[in-house]
Amino acid sequence: MKPKRTASEITGMGAAVPEKVLTNFELAKMVDTSDEWIRSRTGIRERRIAEDNETTSEYGHRAARVALDQAGLSPKDLDLIIVGTVTPDMCFPSTACFIQEKLGAVNAAAFDVNAACAGFIYSLSLADGMIAAGQYKNILILGAELLSRITNWQDRSTCILFGDGAGAAVLQPSQGDRGIVKTYIRSDGRLNHLLKMPGGGTIFPPGQEAHNGECFIQMEGREVFRHAVNCMGEAATKIIEENGFTGDEISLVIPHQANIRIIEAVAKRLDVPNERVYINVDRFGNTSSASIPIALHEAQQRGLINRNDLVLLVGFGGGFTWGSALIRF
């Protein structure tokens, strides 16, 4: 007889964002744009920007503390920390190790996942599988980004989009019928040229990349938009249908907060009304791997997630990477 899979559930959530707000009106003083132009194309009104002396791990640490408190755990209870990020404190050690140090989580293993904006869903999928295998019991997963550090503030096509912040979740073995129903992750490396930050690796090593602006986000906006809609739509419909649900049974959709037009297109494909789609891109912009956990924490704090609700997470990022998760709360 096949042994029963150990389900995992989210027992704590947290988020942390900078106090500094950068509005569209302030951006219009930096580049040739306007509040109306940005809002009509992206839905973004403002974004949060970290101070120069702050780090990705600091925001991850703050979000983690909130999640641990909600879960009723101490840092020493953790046995694994996974951080989705493309803006690490350093190339190495991992940002997860820096967060481990700040927490004092001396009993945990720690590593980063680079899946761009799908980083939190990739981390969730890994953590769920490790709990199912009986390898770990108390796992902290995070999406943490300071995208302002790799944004070209003279490039109107990208600087209007991005912001900073972190979100966290604690996963433990489920004690009942709640938990992660299923996760789904995919990638297509053939499209890596459409969304990238070339500098800092072996192609453009440190010291060379700055000469050609290779240390900033580079994006082919139209192509990214098209693939994001298709891939997020595919990930969302596939996980719903293959697990025997319909769009009507989804209580809340929490998509990656990249662009209001992408979010609306995915919701339309799912035939889910706007009131069941959580949106905060207007206030935070695109925070990459942090966007889904920040939104998840906010939705919980606002009382939008109740017991037995079926929640769908779906994201898409550079790589290309994409994925989805169904969670019964």
Query: Residue 283 has which token pair?
Result: 């206030």
Burial of 222 (0-12, 13-18, 19+ CB in 10 A): exposed
Query: Residue 263 has which token pair?
Result: 């979010």
User: Parallel, antiparallel, or unpaired for β 109-113 and 80-84?
Assistant: parallel
Q: Which residues contact residue 302 at a Cβ distance below 8 angstroms, ignoring those fewer than 6 apart?
A: none
What angle, 0 to 180 degrees and rounded to 10, lies between the N-to-C axes of helices 291-301 and 56-71? Answer: 40
CA distance linking residue 121 with residue 141, whole number of Å: 10
Contact predicate 168/60, CB 8 Å: yes
* Active site (catalytic) residues: 117, 256, 286
Contact predicate 141/124, CB 8 Å: yes
Contact predicate 117/288, CB 8 Å: yes
End-to-end Cα, the chain, rounded Å? 29
